[in-house]
Amino acid sequence: MDIHLTTGAVPSLTSLCVNTIKKAIFSGYEDLHNILELPSNLLDCLVSQLSPFALEKLTITEFHCHKNGFLNNSKAGKKRKRCIDLNEAWKTLFMSRWPDRGKKSKKHAFGWNTDGRELCESDDWQQLYWEQHLQMCLDDASETVMLPIFKGYIGEVIVSDAIIESIGCKDDISFKIPDHKKLSYHCKNFGHYARNLRLHNVLCVFETCELLRSSNLQDLLFCNIRSKSHVEGVCHIIKQNRDTILSLSFSYCNLPTTALDNICTSISKEGTGHVIQRLSFMSSSIFGNNSVPASLSGFLSFLTYERSLFSIKFCETRMGSVPAKLIFDALRHSSSGLSTLEISDNNISGWLTEDLGSKFLSYGLDTSLKSLHVLNLRGNNLDMNDANDLKSALVHMPKLSSLDIGDNPLEDEGIRNLLPYFSESLLTTVKVDNCDLSGNGVAQLLIALSGSNQQLNCLSIAENNLGRCIALPLSKFLKASSIRDLNIEDIGLDSLGFQDLEENLPKISKLCCLNISKNRGGISAAQFISKVLSYAPELCSVKAGYNLMPLKSVEVLCDALEHFKGKLRELDLTGNRHLCQLSHETSQITNFCFQGTPIVILPLVPSSAEPYDDEP
């Protein structure tokens, strides 16, 4: 039966029944299992109209009924098959409330992934919904608690009306009782769904442990931890969840010198091995200067003996060469199977000096770094000497598949120091963008990478002033490799460089993603894209912004898109101001879509007062 409710129309008997049942659920109707015995068409209609709070009651009832076998066929006395997928109803509610996060959370147990943390998989949309709802309640409470005038208990903080209404409790009589609007109510009723939470410093107190006692937290992100009392609260929360916790992250923190040791102690549990797998510090001051206080000894010991740890991240932590050296040495002696190591946006030049090569030779492959798959040393002020020292370490990482040394002043000499390693490695990802390289240095790198490594999938040589001379070596590299993701943004190709690339482009390419932005290619950039589309059937993304493309480029691109038989999802043309003259409504290029979504991203019409900045 199809049910159509029109505003102002006389309600049907079915709609009156549905509204009556909804009110009964809100009013605390106890025999909810009877509702589950409704005809399928009526139950489907009911579920689609329930608020999250009402659906929660029905879902809990449905779970207990199936568990205890209450849903029986009245004639045969047999258990009835589940007639509706309540998980799909929860998915619809999640997508409706957080449309931007819906796609990101489809296969993840956590409601956000903007901070780069690795997430666990889940298909339980009920859990996802209430976890994200509880996060909103905690964030809302944090804004109140951080006010200087706040006095009292965190659990007594009133949750905003907007959040209360979003779960469908605006007209619920029970929610007019003050206790049900308090943070403590939401923690008590929905806290057991929480697996991943972000906690601000004002919530890092013992009371929060009591509020979240029913939670089995697996991933914790602490923000703005700056005092001893904050650290004590963090340690209490970690201890309460150390049987389940897998990942710890700290963002925008200024940790006292003793904090790391205290945190590591709280993770440890006598008689059992640690379960922590991921440890991350982002935009946090944990190394105030280049010296290492004795209080860090516990942290270094933790890194050495932590067996389950497989991912460590130190991003923008004010780390100098001395702590970096000791951390690396601790990991080198570690018994863990470390898979990912990131030390980025620090200043660690010189961290691998002092006869590192002989140390590695003496320890050989006993080092735990032999299990390393991903190494990110981006933005650490590493120079040519550091590159030479790094070569001695890399040869003892036989499983390394991804190396990011971008945004370091390595220069050509530094890359030459690494060429013997590159020519024999089995890397799938290499990033050397913004390393002060010349066309000659990158040409040598391309030869080394294409010599024996047929597994390379991703290469970035962006933001190096390479010039037109790199076009021919790059085309030869494309012929010899199976590269799928290539970033050559802002390398100074100009129109002549694009012409050279187009003339020597291999007729068969496995390219999937291509970034040629900021190369001042003009019409030649459009012609190059046209040629790539004809030779790379697997291409799905092209970024070609800020290339000074003239208006006639549109005709070239339209013709290429009409004949392209692949699955291109994105052609980014932002920053090409001449294309602002296009009418978005009438231009043919706006008609190309992939699964209903426009492929081409055109530049916005600039304000008359906005200066055009594309000068060399």
The model's pLDDT over 149-202, given as tens digits with 9 standing for 90+, comes to: 999 999 999 999 899 989 887 645 555 556 788 999 999 999 999 999 999 999
Exposure on the CB side of residue 342, measured as CA atoms within 13 A: 21
| Closest of 405, 400, 311, 312 to residue 352, by C-alpha | 405
Residues shown for the chain: 616
What structural domains and CATH numbers belong to the chain? Answer: 13-84 (no CATH), 493-616 (3.80.10.10)
Task: Annotate 535-545 with b (16+ C-beta within 10 A) or e (fewer).
Answer: ebeebbbbbbb
Q: pLDDT digit string (tens) for 245-263? A: 999 999 999 987 678 888 9
Task: Annotate 280-302 with b (16+ C-beta within 10 A) or e (fewer).
Answer: bbbebebbeeeebeeebebbbeb
User: What would the mean pLDDT of 485-514 be, rounded to a whole number?
Assistant: 94
Measured CA to CA, the distance from residue 561 to residue 567 in angstroms comes to 10
Match 């329930």 to its residue by tokens. 50
Q: pLDDT digit string (tens) for 443-456? A: 999 999 987 666 89
Q: pLDDT digit string (tens) for 526-552? A: 999 999 999 999 999 999 999 999 999
The shares of helix, strand and coil residues in the chain, as percent rounded to the nearest 5, are 45, 10, 45
Measured CA to CA, the distance from residue 580 to residue 557 in angstroms comes to 15
Q: Tally Cβ neighbours within 10 Å of residue 60.
A: 12
pLDDT reading at 54 higher than 90: no
Query: What pLDDT does residue 145 have?
Result: 95
Q: pLDDT digit string (tens) for 397-438? A: 999 999 999 999 999 999 999 999 998 888 999 999 999 999
More confident residue, 319 or 178: 319
Q: Give kind and range of the element (H or E) at residue 589.
A: none
| Closest of 420, 274, 264, 270 to residue 335, by C-alpha | 274
Bridge partners (DSSP) of residue 249 are: 221, 280
Q: Would you state the structure tokens that stand for residue 479, as one six-digit string?
A: 């012929």
Q: Tally Cβ neighbours within 10 Å of residue 335.
A: 11
Q: Is 8 left (phi over 0), alpha (psi -120 to 50) or beta?
A: left
